[in-house]
Structure 1
Amino acid sequence: QLSSKLGRKELGICAAIFTAVVLILAYFLQISNAWVFVAFYGLAYSGIGCFMLITWAMITDVIDHTEVQTNERSDGMIYSVYSFARK
């Protein structure tokens, strides 16, 4: 479990940086071979996938933290605000 060793926020940051490095490298290399292109973007999207998983895991942390602060469970409101902000 990487998130338990690094922490969720740190793992999200590492995944985003990894994705950015791979995509910037792919841009500057100007890859002409289709299979190398697919390999680079496969690596990049594995980083994006990790980032998205961690993002959704952090939403539950926000819901739990809000419940501790307000003594009120408002997961529907938090999720709807998050969904609206993403759009």
Structure 2
Amino acid sequence: MAKKLYVGNLSYNTYEDNLRTLFSQYGTVESVKIITDRDTGNSKGFGFVEMSTEEEAQAAIRGTNSTDLDGRSIKVNEAMDKPRRENRW
């Protein structure tokens, strides 16, 4: 089962291909998504990488957390499920 990782403290010059290359050293990367501002299209400085297995995800966390990518020390950990928002109508 695929495991989603949160990647924070990204440089605004980091692209999805950079993350895919870095994380592919630890296994199969299912998907990569850098979160961008909807108005400007600029990176918000964080993103998500989905690894194909739990073991690969743990190896990627150990291998990439606090490492340098594009001049920034990135933070990598398991992504938490987004809390459900209730409509307040």
TM-score bracket for the superposition, by shorter chain length: under 0.3
TM-score by length of 2: 0.24
Indicate the structure with greater helix content: 1
**Highest RCO, 1 vs 2 (Cα 8 Å, sep ≥ 6):** 2
Indicate the structure with greater strand content: 2
Q: Highest Rg: 1 or 2?
A: 1
